[in-house]
Structure 1
């Protein structure tokens, strides 16, 4: 796929693995993990050992950038001083709108079984809105349409994403593969993530429920 300006790129996105999504070689990822384990590279974000699932009928975003980095992961009940490196795919966007948003996380309670926390929002006329949203993920499926797409850019030179989030900008590793677009629309979005941050996050029609057993978004 060739980078282009003011053009539209349409296709089905199926990004199940970090290396496939970003074109990073196994050696590059291994190098990051080695540097982090030796204390030469600080993890950009400390995350829990539980991933969560997010789905939406439609995501519309402006100022979209995407690249790879490494988070520090702590297992539930584990020692925070013994964090493990977790390679992640980062998607950051200046503004985002999500229609029919669902977020779920399942917690294993051992002999008591499991419990699911599920959040729904933006199911009515007004969508969920966010500014400077950053998602650290491990998988994404959907149908994506990009405008003003640039693929293969040095991550340290990205200029279309959020500009007032120093923590996010610091994650952009020099010389690493990245891509960016003026706008992106993803329909039938299904995402597995480690973390989400946002400068502002407006959940219209918020519904939060706890249920015994597994009741995930997908």
Structure 2
């Protein structure tokens, strides 16, 4: 199945996230019990993730609510991959430093070699790609019934995970010129050839 799009739209997830947000507020969040979507408190900052090409096998897409250490609820869409190959990875975050001002922390990979990850989860608030090619996609599957792709164990055990909510799964997908705004990312294994981590004064993000 082929999508030709400049932007992947997550508007349909807004309606399914509202009940989860309302339930979380009614429960008073319960932060002392560590009820977290990704098994940890996320920071109050978002970061950028960019790649020339992202190829995934066993892909899941489902909504959940992450929680910051200060107790803020952050609705996200989780992209899960059993296995992912990434060309020209870039990850950047602007960090405000008292007195000195903003600094950008940037991680990049080799231009020639491929980053490989297993059990990769990216908690996103925005995803853009010039094109997405996918194979054997199921739209509207219940999140708790996803079988083709992974569910983060921390999400599955979270009070903010609804197993009956709208989700999707794909046997394989390839995204080109990917631009993601993320609040958290985890991986079971991650191999980054040409690993380069830099911090530079000012704002110099991936895109």
2:25 aligned to which of 34, 53, 69: 34
Aligned to 1:52: 47
Q: Distance in 1 between matches of 2:147 and 2:6?
A: 23
CA change 1:205–1:27 in 2 (3 A) is closer
Q: Distance in 1 between matches of 2:164 and 2:75?
A: 17
Aligned to 2:177: 188
Q: Does 1:91 align with 2:79?
A: yes
1:150, CA displacement in angstroms? 0.5
CA change 1:23–1:132 in 2 (3 A) is same
Structure 2, unmatched stretches of 5+, are none
Q: Distance in 2 between matches of 1:96 and 1:35?
A: 37
1:29, CA displacement in angstroms? 4.6
- The TM-score, its normalising length taken from structure 2, stands at 0.87
CA change 1:26–1:61 in 2 (3 A) is closer
Q: Which region of structure 1 is more displaced relative to structure 2, 107-116 or 189-198?
A: 107-116
Number of residues of Structure 1 aligned to a counterpart in Structure 2: 200
Q: Distance in 1 between matches of 2:27 and 2:78?
A: 18
Aligned partner of residue 98 in structure 1, secondary structure: strand
Aligned to 2:164: 175
Aligned to 2:142: 154
Q: Distance in 2 between matches of 1:29 and 1:214?
A: 34
1:25, CA displacement in angstroms? 4.4
1:130 aligned to which of 105, 117, 132: 117
Contact residue 21 and residue 75 of structure 2 kept, 8 A: no
Aligned partner of residue 28 in structure 1, secondary structure: helix
1:149, CA displacement in angstroms? 0.5
1:30, CA displacement in angstroms? 3.8
CA change 1:56–1:12 in 2 (3 A) is same
Structure 1, unmatched stretches of 5+, are 1-7, 75-81
CA change 1:36–1:15 in 2 (3 A) is farther
Aligned to 1:78: none
- The TM-score, its normalising length taken from structure 1, stands at 0.83
Instruction: Tell me the C-alpha RMSD between the 2 structures.
Output: 2.2
Contact residue 9 and residue 149 of structure 1 kept, 8 A: no
Aligned partner of residue 168 in structure 2, secondary structure: strand
Q: Distance in 1 between matches of 2:105 and 2:53?
A: 22
Q: Which region of structure 1 is more displaced relative to structure 2, 33-42 or 195-204?
A: 33-42
Q: Does 1:43 align with 2:36?
A: yes
